[in-house]
A = this chain, B = another copy of it.
């Protein structure tokens, strides 16, 4: 599940002891190429974090997590999964979104730090998938929203709902066959006999990649690593633009058959976005807010959003 958390894991620690545990989790997740940011509770803008990350881990007493959650929670289908860990790292507890990923992340984190997972949801009450979740997982736009309610209520009623041309597996949904009455498909799949069918069309969004790097990197090694990550994420063929402040990254655009956008430091300085990963101390010294995420968002244009928070590759290159 953690590898699906593209917008990243936010770790928020209240005490010094908790922050040390946070640093340990940060390192473990970075090693797995999972986007992750560690915050001190006092300095964190929880409202931004709530809207910008795919999962939040609070390291503090459960009561602290609960009182914080109460300030920002809206509704089951709107809130990110939230996990609580005590300062000593004894327990990992899904606090919100047990059936929306928190249970799985809890199991993964507790294995990583050797803690006890405290799962309190009834396993038979698994929540059903919904159209919005599938659109999110496939980074798509729903083309005919008038059918959302029909498809979601078919899922809730336990009717057969099928996926066509969608490269993910979703528990409770089936692969397409002619008999399916309810179908979720992509706009590229036009060959469905839609007589008597309720079809929901997802338009895969175009993706832009932003790359930051040190001045001296071996572009062949870097491009190989980046391609490998894009393949793991199953988006290699969906990249339309590669953007960077470094001319040599054009090579990666060529390999991906994408356009290249050279970004200037001026553009970076003038760019604002609520979900940007806070800059490292080193970047702050250089007077830069960040490179990879801003490059990607600049290349994506004004309607773009951050779908994959930056990760670092070998401490030489960042990718968003």
Interface residues of A (CB under 8 A from B): 15, 17, 61-63, 66-67, 69-70, 73, 76, 84, 86-87, 90-91, 93-98, 118-122, 125
Contact = CB atoms under 8 A, between A and B. Distances in A.
Contacts of A69: 66, 70
A17 B125 CA distance: 13
A28 B93 CA distance: 28
A95 B93 CA distance: 11
Contacts of A95: 62-63, 66
Nearest to A70: B70
A122 B62 CA distance: 11
Given A93-B93, A118-B91, A122-B87, A98 B63 contact: yes
A106 to B, nearest CB: 11
Contacts of A119: 86
Given A66-B70, A67-B96, 20 more contacts: A15-B122, A61-B121, A62-B95, A62-B120, A62-B121, A63-B96, A63-B97, A63-B120, A63-B121, A66-B66, A66-B69, A66-B73, A66-B95, A67-B76, A70-B73, A86-B120, A86-B121, A87-B122, A91-B118, A91-B120
A101 to B, nearest CB: 12
